[in-house]
Amino acid sequence: MNYILGLDLGSASLGWAVLECTEVDGSLQPTRIERTGVRIFEAGVEGDIEQGRDASRAAKRREARQPRRQNWRTQQRKRKLFRLLQQHGLLPASEKDDAISRKAVFDQLDKELTEKHITEGDHTAHQHLPYLLRMLASGAKVKPFELGRAIYSLAQRRGFLSNRKADTDEKEDGVVKASISELGGQIAGRTIAQTFVEDISPDHEDPGRQRIRQRYTAREMFHDEFNRIRKQQQPHFDLADNDWDTVYKTIFFQRPLKSQRHRIGRCEIDGGQRCLDALDVFQQFRIWHAVQNLRLADAYSLGRDGRLTLEEQQKIVDALQTQATMTWGKVVTLLGLKRGTKFTIQEWNTKGLTGHRTNSAMMHVFGDEWLDRPLEERDAITKEVVYFRKPSAMRKRGQEAWGLSEEQAALLPSTRLEEAHARHSAATLAIFVERMSRGEDYSTIRKDITGKDDSEPLDQLPPLSKAGLDITNPAVIRGLTELRKVVNELVRQYGKPIGIRIELSRSLKNSRDKRIKLHKDNEDRRKRREKAIEGILKQIPGRYSGNDIEKWLLAEECGWHCPYTGRPISPSTLLGSQPQFDIEHIFPRRYLDNSFSNKTLCYHEFNRNVKKNQTAFDACSGLDSWDEILQRVNNFDGPVAALKRKRFLTAAKEIPDGFTSKHLNDNRYNAVVAKKYVAMLYGGLSDADGSQRVFAVTGGHTALLRREWGLNSILSGTEEKTRDDHRHHAVDAVVIALTDPARIQALVNAAELAEKKASRRFYEAVQDPWPKFSSKVADSINEIVVSHRPTRTLPGALHAESIYSKPHIDKDGNTNHRIRKHITKLSATELKKDKIVDPAIRDLVKAKLKELGESNPAKAFAEEKNHPFLTAKDGRKIPIHKVRVFADKKPRAIAKNERQRYVASGKDSNFASMIYAVVDKDGHEIKWEHKVITRLEAHERKTRNRTVNGEKVLLPDPTDFNDDKKRVFKFALCKNDTVMLEGPDGDDVICRIQKISQAEIQLCPLATPSVQGKARSKWNQIQSIDNLRKWNLRTVLISPTGIEHR
């Protein structure tokens, strides 16, 4: 069968449509819907993708894994040092060296040393005993155990070591270094221990003025203190230099970061390794690319073309060679343009042009002689500065190899160069830079050097890992993986399509920065619309429409004056029963831009008699009032004012060819990658005959065609699109499959006809692709069985992050656990039920709330100055920031010995529901019961069953129940599993598992995103598991294309 495949790919969904093609007027055209479907899956990232707050799931696991590794390494370091000091007689002997044994040794040793060195009753000095011992060891001979205790203290907290590769928070890094610098000034030749002991001494003018724990220290300070102790004690102990070196390495060794160079991607043009951003060739490429894209916003008023000449471009490029950035004002001055001249890019980039950041940073170290060095040497130095590991080694390298002074070399470790990588290799970038400097633009050069893709066509799409595509975005990887499953299954059923048209959602094709900007723009737009509604209702109470809101916003943008005639606009002449101002399209409707950025207001007679179906420039540039019109347009105030000014100065002949057909070619990176992936079925975007088979459409037209063909009402019953039904993705896929140049031209014709008729609708009727089109689409949509990707993977949170106390038994014999909470996290229920453990603390918290007149702890204690406090015997006020409360949950113990801790299950940590049938002695089922297992329990089962072939987790376990009932394991249910059961009316229905807990199982129709609130019922909210037996529940497998396998 000849067919076209339409694909609507989102971050968590894939809609698809198979449209059969027959020959019409000598060419194959879609004439019938064969089948449609939807595949739903969890996004490959966590967080809100639309708002740009998404993050890789691996990132969260990595952030949790890093502290675990650090803790393990810390324990290993302490254990190794403990054994080493015992071997040299510097610590008491013990049978074991685990954390519990070490603590017992030090508790006894500290008790003995306290009696010797600390005055009885001096609790502060007792807490800082290790610092006192270190101070003594650096100044005079001490006993062996005193020396061992002092050295061990150095390993417990060994100071901050700058690791620039891992520094991601420059603000926090600056705070740390500023604090270290301040402490360094206070030390003034002393050791850290001596400084701290003297600061807390009763003889100090302000004892205890600063807690030791809140002071940042540097690793070098500990190195210095160790060396002083070694120098002082070495003559008195029988430790060889090698022994001291071993102790030093044990305390201070820090493994270098693992190299990530193997993760650098490949250039899509020549296959070489991508170029480091800090290298000169990329810096030059970025400058030229940005400069070539500059366009003057008010070129017409300047009497010139909007593009810069090659000489002007070269002038900016030369100036940027030594600057990290150049403001727009400086660019205008450099070019000799009149003050206030703007570039179109300033609409979204207000900071200016990015220059040669590497030269700017390195000249701060090397001075002007940096540019006198050969380019090869500069690039070599740049690489070393980017990849260096040890600051001391970098300073030494700067002095010995590059001839820097001590002051210059000291600047090298803090010099930040760009560590990311470009999309192209250095060799490819060199070609671009050389040709750009001659005036050629990026797209022309790229098209010239890429050539044709001659790869062999494939029968099936390969896994992404074998596709040779450079994709790092987890959301795109997940989306394309699910696309592969669907496309391959369709190819097996129908053969290869004759064409594929694919559209990516904004969440996939836009970068994070772009998504953040779009979300911000949407929020700003929402606020402006709300303000407009308030203004309209003040003028016309009880009435407003979407058209009214748009008119109001346009009036505010143009200062309540018609930009064409200068006539004043009032609310009554704008929105009254006989409005005098039309919404007017700056570029005529035939260009298919019905967005706010292409609209303004126009006095109705001028619009219909003068402006007509022309661009603003073509209609008005010959009028005597043209300069006045431009002056009014220059006064526009709004987020897209600059773009509108540019459009007023654009003649129809200057509008790029293919302005409307741009809808058929989405060139954003992820869209191009998706297009290349599916094009592997044909050996490239074009087949052996040169016919392009795969198109990535932009999507701007999809909503227009869907509305004009009446497809919105299929699911919503109205003219507005609904997102409360997954099947809307399939409706979009039908439209995408039908998007071709002919369809775009049909929209152009409909828009022109509407303009000629002065219709208020943007389009006149657009002809249906074939008779009864809307009803045929509806029939296909209603037959869809939505396919959901099951959630059966084990990776995920094993439990909530909170750690609970060991079990406590109260006076009534009840067991309970406690947990520490910040007082802002206390709930009203915890306060009402007296959940705070300590009665004295509880009373102080309640009294403070009463004093503040606020019952909500989060608001009352938002500022620390409002926190309650305890008054000590000596009159000191001890603030209360955290309290212990009785836990409502029943945590369980994990790990053993010193690592044992108590945790509770957290959000989404339930893994499966194990369904059992309780049977009588004859094996007849009496009822069903279930046991929910968490991810933690699932991992434990996997470990226990590691020798079992096949399934190792979802197996019956005798520990699931603690009674003597005879049970038979039926099956396991996981989130997003598909099941069939009798519905409320007795007919079989297919649902998915939305949520699992021991209290209930929530069912959800396949086409519904989620069941919430009033949509919950006794039928879909299963609280009695035996109802599943009564309703004859059985599991169903739905293939990626929606085919049932029972």
pLDDT at 222 over 80: yes
Arithmetic mean of pLDDT, 527-533: 91
Q: What is the mean pLDDT of the chain?
A: 86
Q: Which residue has the higher pLDDT, 439 or 659?
A: 439
Q: Could you give the angle at the alpha carbon of 985 between the alpha carbons of 980 and 988, nearest 5°? A: 20
**Beta carbons within 10 angstroms of residue 668's beta carbon:** 17
Q: Which residue has the tokens 């040393």?
A: 113
CATH architecture of the domain 3-54+473-512+660-788 equals 2-Layer Sandwich (3.30)
pLDDT at 477 over 60: yes
Residue 455 pLDDT grade (very low, low, confident, very high; cuts 50, 70, 90): low
Give the integer Cα–Cα distance in Å for 484 and 464.
9
Residue 739 pLDDT grade (very low, low, confident, very high; cuts 50, 70, 90): confident
Question: Hey, where are the domains in the chain?
Answer: 3-54+473-512+660-788, 89-238, 261-446, 535-654, 808-888, 910-1045
Q: Which of 62-66, 510-514, 517-521, 1025-1029 has the highest mean pLDDT?
A: 1025-1029
Judging by beta carbons within 10 Å of its beta carbon (0-12, 13-18, 19+), is residue 1017 exposed, middle or buried? exposed
Q: Which residue has the higher pLDDT, 799 or 559?
A: 559
Q: Which of 125-139, 274-288, 508-522 has the highest mean pLDDT?
A: 274-288
Percent of the chain scoring above 90 in pLDDT: 49
Give the integer Cα–Cα distance in Å for 357 and 323.
7
Range in 564-568, 570-574, 749-753, 851-855 with the lowest mean pLDDT: 749-753
Give the integer Cα–Cα distance in Å for 568 and 1046.
70
pLDDT at 227 over 90: yes
pLDDT at 203 over 60: no
CA of residue 532 relative to chain centroid, distance = 33
What pLDDT score does 453 carry? 45
What pLDDT score does 298 carry? 66
Range in 733-737, 779-783, 909-913 with the lowest mean pLDDT: 909-913
Say which residues have a Cβ less than 8 Å from residue 994's Cβ, sequence separation at least 6. 975, 1002, 1003, 1004, 1010, 1011
Closest to 763 (Cα-Cα) out of 802, 714, 709: 709
Residue 347 pLDDT grade (very low, low, confident, very high; cuts 50, 70, 90): low
Closest to 646 (Cα-Cα) out of 893, 343, 390, 376: 343
Arithmetic mean of pLDDT, 1023-1031: 93
> Do β-strands 274-276 and 892-894 pair in parallel, antiparallel, or remain unpaired?
unpaired
> Do β-strands 13-24 and 27-40 pair in parallel, antiparallel, or remain unpaired?
antiparallel
CA distances from 565 to 568, 603, 605, 632 (A): 9, 7, 10, 10
Q: What is the DSSP letter of 174?
A: H
Closest to 458 (Cα-Cα) out of 501, 493, 487, 480: 487
pLDDT at 117 over 50: yes
Give the integer Cα–Cα distance in Å for 5 and 711.
18
Arithmetic mean of pLDDT, 10-38: 91
Residue 492 pLDDT grade (very low, low, confident, very high; cuts 50, 70, 90): very high
**Beta carbons within 10 angstroms of residue 26's beta carbon:** 6
Q: Which residue has the higher pLDDT, 919 or 542?
A: 919
What pLDDT score does 208 carry? 45
**Beta carbons within 10 angstroms of residue 889's beta carbon:** 15
Q: Which residue has the higher pLDDT, 625 or 703?
A: 625
Give pTM, 2 decimals: 0.71
Q: Which of 127-136, 561-570, 932-941 has the highest mean pLDDT?
A: 561-570
Structure tokens at 420: 């990311």
Residue 169 pLDDT grade (very low, low, confident, very high; cuts 50, 70, 90): very low
User: Residue 770 in contact with residue 22, Cβ under 8 Å?
Assistant: no
CA distances from 439 to 74, 579, 656 (A): 59, 51, 19
User: Residue 1026 in contact with residue 1019, Cβ under 8 Å?
Assistant: no
Give the integer Cα–Cα distance in Å for 558 and 638.
9
pLDDT at 405 over 90: yes
Q: What is the DSSP letter of 218?
A: B
User: Residue 559 in contact with residue 534, Cβ under 8 Å?
Assistant: no
pLDDT at 757 over 90: no
96, amino acid identity: K
User: Euclidean distance between the first and final Cα of the chain, in Å?
Assistant: 28
Length of the chain, in residues: 1046
What pLDDT score does 764 carry? 58
Structure tokens at 999: 């209290």
Phi, psi at residue 151, to the nearest 5°?
-65, -40
What pLDDT score does 452 carry? 47
pLDDT at 37 over 70: yes
Range in 200-204, 315-319, 743-747, 911-915 with the lowest mean pLDDT: 200-204
User: Residue 49 in contact with residue 515, Cβ under 8 Å?
Assistant: yes
Residue 656, SS3?
A: coil
Arithmetic mean of pLDDT, 712-737: 88
What pLDDT score does 429 carry? 96
**Beta carbons within 10 angstroms of residue 911's beta carbon:** 28
Q: What would the pLDDT profile of 811-846 be if each residue is shown by its tens digit?
A: 888 889 999 999 999 998 898 899 999 999 999 999
Residue 588 pLDDT grade (very low, low, confident, very high; cuts 50, 70, 90): confident
Range in 335-344, 655-664, 772-781, 1005-1014 with the lowest mean pLDDT: 655-664
Structure tokens at 724: 């409360």
pLDDT at 318 over 70: yes
Arithmetic mean of pLDDT, 403-418: 92
User: Residue 402 in contact with residue 381, Cβ under 8 Å?
Assistant: yes
What pLDDT score does 704 carry? 79
pLDDT at 669 over 80: no
Q: What is the 3-state secondary structure (H, E, C) of 373-394?
A: CCHHHHHHHHHHHHHCCCHHHH
Say which residues have a Cβ less than 8 Å from residue 516's Cβ, sequence separation at least 6. 51, 52
- For CA atoms 37, 41, 44, 46, give the dihedral sign: positive
What pLDDT score does 166 carry? 46
> Do β-strands 1021-1022 and 325-326 pair in parallel, antiparallel, or remain unpaired?
unpaired
Arithmetic mean of pLDDT, 365-387: 95
Arithmetic mean of pLDDT, 271-287: 94
Please give the positions annotated as active site. Answer: 8, 585
Residue 595 pLDDT grade (very low, low, confident, very high; cuts 50, 70, 90): confident
What pLDDT score does 167 carry? 46
Q: What is the DSSP letter of 516?
A: H
What pLDDT score does 546 carry? 85
pLDDT at 165 over 70: no
Residue 163 pLDDT grade (very low, low, confident, very high; cuts 50, 70, 90): low
Residue 259 pLDDT grade (very low, low, confident, very high; cuts 50, 70, 90): low
Structure tokens at 15: 């809609």
Q: 948: phi > 0 → left, psi -120 to 50 → alpha, else beta; which?
A: beta
Give the integer Cα–Cα distance in Å for 46 and 225.
45
DSSP states of 590-635: GG---SGGGEEEEEHHHIIIIITTS-HHHHHTTSTTHHHHHHHHHT
Closest to 295 (Cα-Cα) out of 247, 337, 240: 337
- For CA atoms 502, 506, 508, 513, give the dihedral sign: positive
CA of residue 983 relative to chain centroid, distance = 40
What pLDDT score does 454 carry? 46
Identify any residues that bridge with 33 across adjacent strands, giving them in sequence order: 19
Give the integer Cα–Cα distance in Å for 41 and 793.
13
Give the integer Cα–Cα distance in Å for 906 and 903.
9
Phi, psi at residue 1001, to the nearest 5°?
-120, 125
Dihedral angle at the C-alpha atoms of 136, 139, 141, 142, nearest 10 degrees? 10
Q: Could you give the angle at the alpha carbon of 698 between the alpha carbons of 695 and 701, nearest 5°? A: 110
CA atoms within 13 A on the CB side of 404: 24
Arithmetic mean of pLDDT, 797-804: 85
Arithmetic mean of pLDDT, 939-964: 87
Give the integer Cα–Cα distance in Å for 768 and 743.
10
> Do β-strands 694-696 and 499-504 pair in parallel, antiparallel, or remain unpaired?
parallel
Over the Cα atoms of the chain, what is R_g? 36
